């Protein structure tokens, strides 16, 4: 992949490592960062060798939000167009994370505000350490949330809490985020990256197609009626039963040996 200026990206042993890397400006999401995030997310989505993704931020910060300085550099009349262009890429990146078979592990290693909180919500598994802080932040500057925190947040923590956080921008500590189910787990600070890597590695050796099926079923369930969801589950399990990994998983279970999944 050609050079990236706002992100670090590498793929190793089926794990894609994405690190937001603008630490001098709290890893803020500029148009360029959004473009690069879309590029690497699409690479992960399309690559057969990527079977897990680990997303984090450089410099003890996850992501401080949209790059307001670059937004303010636009002519005021051009700001709506500029935000739509940023979202063209940022939203596409998040769609890739939701759509891809590979599970996305997010390690929140510091403040996550605005876009940063949205991005943390978009992880399939979200680990945080005690320096993590979460704030929706958009209305603090007179904007409305996106990326798509108004989809994920009410479904993860409920409408009542989401409304309060969106209107007041109250900051959540890592512990409160864990207590209300916003993050999967809080781990000790110095173990965050090691634990996130270990989880990503484990998932990268799992039944990738079944993981993709789980994501499709769970991210679509909120708006499906009961019988529709049951039919999709039925189609999904029958599809997965055709995969090499399901054959291997069942055989290994019966032989009482660890399965060797290939992602096919």
Any catalytic annotation for residue 82? no
Cβ-based neighbour number of residue 154 at 10 Å = 16
Strands ordered across the beta sheet of 185-186: 7-12, 15-20, 52-57, 104-108, 125-128, 185-186
The only residue of 131, 169, 184, 201 in contact with another protein, by rule CB under 8 A: 169
Per-residue DSSP letter, 100: S
Nearer to another protein, 43 or 176 (CB): 176
Nearer to another protein, 87 or 129 (CB): 87
Q: What angle do CA 216, 147, 12 make, to 5 degrees?
A: 65
In the shown chain, the binding pattern of residues 80 to 99 toward another protein, with x for contact by CB under 8 A and - for none, equals xx-xx--x---x--xx--x-
Nearer to another protein, 224 or 262 (CB): 224
Any catalytic annotation for residue 14? no
By DSSP bridging, strand 172-173 and strand 133-135 are antiparallel
- Is the torsion defined by CA of 68, 99, 214, 189 positive or negative? negative
The SS3 of residue 243 is coil
The length of the chain, given as a count of residues: 264
In the shown chain, the binding pattern of residues 112 to 131 toward another protein, with x for contact by CB under 8 A and - for none, equals --------------------
Residues touching another protein, count (CB under 8 A): 56
Q: Which residues are catalytic?
A: 91, 146
Residues that bind another protein (CB under 8 A): 68-69, 71-72, 76, 79-81, 83-84, 87, 91, 94-95, 98, 133, 135, 138-148, 150-151, 154-155, 157-164, 166-173, 175-176, 179-180, 219-220, 222-223
């Amino acid at each position: 992949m050609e050079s990236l200026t706002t992100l670090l990206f590498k793929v190793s042993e089926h794990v894609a490592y994405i690190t937001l890397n603008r630490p001098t400006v709290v890893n803020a999401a500029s148009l360029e960062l959004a473009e690069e995030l879309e590029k690497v997310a699409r690479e992960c989505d399309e690559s057969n060798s990527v079977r897990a993704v680990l997303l984090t931020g450089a410099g003890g910060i996850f992501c401080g939000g949209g790059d307001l300085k670059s937004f303010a550099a636009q002519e005021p009349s051009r700001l709506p167009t500029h935000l739509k262009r940023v979202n063209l890429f940022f939203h596409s990146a998040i769609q890739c994370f939701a759509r891809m078979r590979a599970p996305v592990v997010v390690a929140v290693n510091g403040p996550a505000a605005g876009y940063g909180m949205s991005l943390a919500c978009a992880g399939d598994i979200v680990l945080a350490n005690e320096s993590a802080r979460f704030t929706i932040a958009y209305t603090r500057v007179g904007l409305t949330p996106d990326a798509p925190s108004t989809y994920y947040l009410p479904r993860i923590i409920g409408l009542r809490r989401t409304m309060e956080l969106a209107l007041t921008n109250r900051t959540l500590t890592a512990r409160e985020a864990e207590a209300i189910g916003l993050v999967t787990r809080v781990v000790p600070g110095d173990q965050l990256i090691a634990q996130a890597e270990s989880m990503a590695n484990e998932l990268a050796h799992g039944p990738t197609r079944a993981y993709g099926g789980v994501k499709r079923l769970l991210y679509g369930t909120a708006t499906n009626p009961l019988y529709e969801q049951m039919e999709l589950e039925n189609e999904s399990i029958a599809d997965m039963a055709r995969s090499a990994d399901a054959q291997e998983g069942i055989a290994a279970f019966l032989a009482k040996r660890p399965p060797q999944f290939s992602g096919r």
